Structure 1
Amino acid sequence: MTASYHDRVNVLQGTTASSPFDRADWFALLAASGIAPLVVSAGAGDGAAALALTATNGRIEPLRNWYSFTWRPHGESPAALAEIARSLKSRSHRVTLWPVPDEDGSATRLEQAFRKAGWSVAREACDHNHVLPVGGRSFAEYWQGRPGQMRTTFKRKAKKVAVELFTRFDPGAWAEYEAIYGESWKPEEGNPGLLRRFAEQEGAAGRIRLGIARAEGRAVAAQFWTVEHGTAHIHKLAHREDAKPLSAGTTLSAALFEHVIDIDKVELVDFGTGDDPYKRDWMELDRPRFRIDCLDPRQPRAWPALARRTLGRVA
């Protein structure tokens, strides 16, 4: 078995995707944004695996950006992953992979593959992923389990806000989202053009769930979700700072939760990465995301980082 290298992401077409960030079309968007792909594959059929990577910052890293909730290998073959790990020594002294889940065994498989290939591997939790396993509940049943203060706020404020939900990309609604984001507490959008192209792509496939909340006809809050394979992914939320007293975000979130639970019948709602306190009001499970840092002890360039790692463990 020999690993092969590709500078195009089309080699990932047809591979299994369990989230938006596993699909070849997502990686194509990243490539179009200027991130140079380095896709490494090995094996064939059920014994195949591939990693979507890029060479940057003096090492090999995942092909991802700040919008990505997660990153994982394509394929589960231990032999193929170990061959990829062995081959990567010819490309760099260091491979750092994140944010990798382990509820599906991805982090464990990668850690084992790189160790088997002779890398010095450090694995640590690097982020949080708050999710809601629906467990067959209706929205009404789920809502009864939310904090009393949140339900009271919704009851007092919901009548002041009108909600509109879109299941296809709507240019006017997206313009409202961008305007709201620009007047929100959020930092400047990382790559608004890429995000719009992603939203257009998801809209064409019927996966988008875009919500706009209005007060007296003015758009004051917006949320961008997608739904696929029984999971609702919450990508972006924002509200105008001057409309904060309306709690429009709570009203809009409730409407979207109701839609994905009662109409889309999702099994899981995924709030992405981050440990913001408000996520705990809506979610019920906190899953870790891992960083897997691999150094090749045979390459002198890895020695300073290896020394720092050893000193850190001693300390």
Structure 2
Amino acid sequence: MGDSALWVKGEYFDDFDAVEAAARGSLDRAAQPILFDRLAWFRRTWEHCPPGVRPLVARAVSEKAQCWLFLARKEDLSLTALASWYTLAFRPVFSGVADDAMKLRLLTAIAKRLRGTLKAHRITLSPVPVEDGSAKLLAVAFARAGWKVAQSPATVNWVARTTGLSFADYWKQRPGELRSTVMRKAAKTDLEIEIFQSFDEAAWQCYETIYEQSWKPEEGAPGFLRTMATDEGTAGTLRLGVAKLAGRPVAAQLWTVENGAAIIHKLAYVEDAAAHSPGTLLSAAMFEHALDRDQVSLIDYGTGDDGYKANWMDDARALEHLEMFNPRTIAGWFGWIRARLRNLVRGRRVD
């Protein structure tokens, strides 16, 4: 079956209810093990922090599998990933039975459609994981479909691989300075820590208060996080840690735990309590809970190459920024030339 045949049932969508009807549950929690690949995540992103003026969801269908690419139209008529600063990984989403060859065929069909029928001049996708093959798959598929592809580093994703480890085992592997800090501060600080696994209004108010008093910039879309915490609490995957000092909330962390992986989404502490290291002590408690109670095999510290993450994590996984340019358009051609010159200077790949 050629690539063109894959589009017999292929479609574009700009309405999430229509996507839900067409997906028939294949984009729901039960079918998609990763939070960022679910329709609910994309729907929530568009509701609270839309990256463009209209959503554009592309689908390619084969007899046994489907490929979805969630995009947004920009005012300059380019396309971008339907993602936000809360999105820790963006990739094409597959359902059904799709081996590597089928995934490539489906994604290439989407890329050809976007270049031909839609005539988009540029598509920007970020942050795309490298380790799971998503960045390479996208680059190869779009290059095969006639796009010019430029790749550059977006950021990194620190992780700890914890299969079979208790917290005690994990803790022995941490730097001595970190272990010493936790021991000293815990002995001197009467910190009350509670970890919530379902949504709690009072706990959430503590989180918001702590965030407002922290060094963090203003929250981009607090409604997004609240809705996420509510939904994940209902699903039993929420881990919201709150630390109090003399009854005052001073540190909070928002995690999710699902399918053997813990993801650290947000953390903050009150600046005037920094001398007590409440964030570090809360982290130790959250890691202990994830390892000894949830028994996760992976802890994901989100995006960003912050120096302190290396103390808690094992490896930094690359995340890529991909730009695809349509050489059939003037804007696409000149965009590719600029990207080529920029990446040649940086020693990066341009196809």
C-alpha separation in 2, matches of 1:43 and 1:50: 9
Q: Is the 8 A contact 1:42 1:50 kept in 2?
A: yes
Which residue does the alignment assign to 2:277? 247
Code of the aligned partner of 1:14: S
Q: Is the 8 A contact 1:154 1:251 kept in 2?
A: yes
Which residue does the alignment assign to 2:227? 197
Q: Name the SS for the 2:88 alignment partner.
A: coil
| Residues 1:70 and 2:96 are matched in the alignment | no
Shifted more, 32-41 versus 131-140: the winner is: 32-41
C-alpha separation in 1, matches of 2:235 and 2:63: 27
Q: Is the 8 A contact 2:163 2:296 kept in 1?
A: no
> Aligned-pair distance for 1:78?
1.3
Which residue does the alignment assign to 2:120? 92
C-alpha separation in 1, matches of 2:340 and 2:249: 53
Of the three residues 4, 11, 26, the one matched with 1:4 is 11
Aligned pairs for 1:111-122 (under 5 A) are 111-122=139-150
Q: Name the SS for the 2:308 alignment partner.
A: helix
| Residues 1:43 and 2:61 are matched in the alignment | yes
> Aligned-pair distance for 1:26?
0.9
C-alpha separation in 2, matches of 1:80 and 1:312: 30
Cα offsets for 1:189-222 (capped at 9, x unmatched): 0000111011101001111000011111111100
C-alpha separation in 2, matches of 1:57 and 1:184: 35
Q: Is the 8 A contact 2:49 2:221 kept in 1?
A: no
> Aligned-pair distance for 1:135?
2.8
Shifted more, 66-75 versus 86-95: the winner is: 86-95
Aligned pairs for 1:174-253 (under 5 A) are 174-253=204-283
C-alpha separation in 1, matches of 2:123 and 2:15: 20
Cα offsets for 1:235-258 (capped at 9, x unmatched): 000000000000011110011101
Identity rate of aligned residues, in percent? 44
- Root mean square deviation of aligned Cα: 1.5
Which residue does the alignment assign to 2:337? 307
Which residue does the alignment assign to 1:104? 132
Q: Is the 8 A contact 2:49 2:84 kept in 1?
A: no
Structure 2 gaps, min length 5: 1-5, 346-351
C-alpha separation in 2, matches of 1:91 and 1:31: 23
Which residue does the alignment assign to 1:150? 178
Q: Is the 8 A contact 2:156 2:304 kept in 1?
A: yes
Structure 1 gaps, min length 5: none
- Do the aligned partners of residues 57 and 102 (structure 1) sit closer, same or farther apart at CA in structure 2, a change above 3 Å counting? farther
> Aligned-pair distance for 1:31?
2.4
Which residue does the alignment assign to 1:272? 302
Q: Is the 8 A contact 1:158 1:248 kept in 2?
A: no
Deviating runs (4+, > 4 A) in structure 1? none
Code of the aligned partner of 1:203: G
Code of the aligned partner of 1:235: H
TM-score computed with the length of structure 1 as normaliser = 0.96
Code of the aligned partner of 2:12: Y
C-alpha separation in 1, matches of 2:179 and 2:48: 41
Q: Name the SS for the 1:48 alignment partner.
A: strand
Which residue does the alignment assign to 2:286? 256
Aligned pairs for 1:126-141 (under 5 A) are 126-141=154-169
TM-score computed with the length of structure 2 as normaliser = 0.86
Q: Name the SS for the 2:244 alignment partner.
A: strand
Q: Name the SS for the 1:269 alignment partner.
A: strand
